A and B are shown apart, each in its own frame.
Chain A
Amino acid sequence: MKKVLLFAIIIGCIPLQMVGQDQNSSNGDSDRITVNARVVAEGIEMTTIRDMRFGKVQPGQQEISISPLRDPNAGKMVASGIPDERIRVSFLREWQLTNDQGGEPLTFSYRVAGNSIDDQNTSELLETNNRNLRFNSEGEFYFWIGGRVNISNASPGNYEGEFTIEIEYI
């Protein structure tokens, strides 16, 4: 009897595992994505070389238009960064010009031209979002800012506004 008891104790000390069925299914799927970040040693600087100039409005004039491709009154900016690096440029197409004497603001529609060399005549019009631009070998890219505004209902006064452009490496 003692042998039976001892045998039972030994058996009881051996853990028994019961596991459920485990059959692998081949119906799964997988994929992978890249995580990336570009470290830049320096940021991009924007310098305004000259502001856009409208000049005096003539009586009866309905619209003011400044061509960024040809007009010497176009605004001019230069971006500075890492030479030969690709950049993405985006800007807001429209902006409100406010009258310092009150009254309704005017909506200005910007047009921007860009060039890797300092030559307005060979510059090209940019879209609001551009990904195929590149700094030149000296790390510069030039912008000319023009546009148009309807002044048929404008009140007398001085109008001012801002131009917002965003540049980043890609």
Chain B
Amino acid sequence: MKRPLFIIFIFWFLFTGHLYAQEINFGQYATEGIVLTNESPHSGGLNFGQVIEGDGTISIQLTDPEVVVFSIEAEIDKDIFVTITPPARLVYDADNKMDYTLQASYSNKGNDNKSQAVTINGTSVRFPVLARENKPPGTPPTPKHGDNTTPTTKAYLYIYGDLTVSNTEGGSLAAGLYTGTINITVSYEEQN
């Protein structure tokens, strides 16, 4: 009897699919809503200014004044998920488009400091609202009870990138204004 049971267990471990460990997202207990604010002193958009065909690749870098800065105010003991959806191209019309490559970083030390910024690889990232400073994770957040409220703090998001000044549709670029839209979403839970 023991041998068949042993065999059963072996087959079980060989053929069973993936076991997912449970992950408790404490963000579901957040009571303070996230506030995303465009803090840029200029027009608020990402403006590459005037370009002339043949300029090659024009870059707005993290330290340039054209960088768009967002503050993200959220509960201090939570993680947040940031998703940035850039346009693939800036468009004048159907026959005139230019490639845009998103670059983005975040800073979560409690103040707007680009020298502490962490580069975001890709278009989404998860990070603590306030960095844990190389310490082990603390105790789980205190759920809301009674009049207890979780304090909030601000993290910062920086948006910049590269523009390739050539027509992706072939031919010369028409003179005029080329535009695109970047969407930013911030939440306590991963958006699927």
Contacts and interface: CB of A to CB of B under 8 A. Distances in A.
A27 B32 contact: yes
Given A12-B12, A23-B28, A37-B98, A29 B35 contact: yes
B86 A37 contact: no
A152 interface: no
Contact of B178 (A1, A15, A37): A37
Size category of the B interface is: 35 or more
A57 interface: no
B8 A19 contact: no
A26 to B, nearest CB: 8
B8 A40 contact: no
Interface in A32-53: 32-43
A43 B55 CA distance: 12
A25 to B, nearest CB: 5
Given A25-B188, A36-B48, A31 B70 contact: yes
B20 A15 contact: no
B49 to A, nearest CB: 7
A67 B15 CA distance: 91
Contacts of A32: 181-184
A87 B131 CA distance: 44
Interface string B51-93: 1110000100000000010101000000000000011001010
Given A17-B17, A17-B18, A39 B12 contact: no
Size category of the A interface is: 35 or more
A21 B68 contact: no
Given A20-B25, A21-B22, A27-B31, 18 more contacts: A9-B11, A11-B12, A12-B13, A13-B15, A13-B16, A16-B17, A17-B19, A18-B22, A25-B188, A27-B34, A28-B186, A31-B38, A32-B181, A32-B183, A36-B45, A36-B90, A39-B50, A40-B50
**The 9 nearest A-B residue pairs measured at CB:** A15-B17, A28-B187, A37-B48, A20-B22, A34-B45, A29-B36, A12-B12, A8-B8, A41-B175
Interface of B: 4, 7-8, 11-25, 27-28, 30-36, 38, 44-53, 58, 68, 70, 72, 86-87, 90, 92, 98, 100, 159, 161, 163, 165, 173-189, 191
Interface of A: 1, 4-5, 8-9, 11-25, 27-43, 82, 168-170
6 contacts: A8-B11, A20-B22, A25-B187, A34-B181, A39-B165, A42-B52
